[in-house]
Amino acid sequence: MTTENVAQPSPECPAYHSAIELIGKRWNGVILRHLTQGAARFSELRAAIPGITDTMLTQRLRELEDASIVDRQVVSTRPVDIRYALTEVGQTLAPILDAVASWSNEWVATTQSDH
């Protein structure tokens, strides 16, 4: 199937706009990118994302949970072990995030060579 046969969403499409707003929201992309590597504890995410506050990380994780992209997994141990992982829907973002990472590396290389 070629891309000519596939209906492309209009940039004004509400679903497209919502998706871009969600993954493009500050910190969400880096949180999601980290979770493509596997489940992580809150402290691991915080350590992997310089500059994010506990409050902001909590808020973003809740938003991603509400969107059914991230799952909060509670393991009944002492102390309680809480991990965050991508849902099945969230896992479908991995190739998209990989493509953005690839593009960003090319973009940075291009913009640096222009100066």
Q: Is the pLDDT higher at 109 or at 88?
A: 88
Facing residues of 5 across strands? none
Note the CATH number of domain 13-113.
1.10.10.10
- For 69-78, the pLDDT digits (tens) are 999 999 888 8
pTM metric for this prediction: 0.80
Q: Which amino acid is at 62?
A: R
User: If you average pLDDT over residues 52-62, what whole number do you get?
Assistant: 98
The total number of residues shown for the chain amounts to 115
User: If you average pLDDT over residues 3-17, what whole number do you get?
Assistant: 72
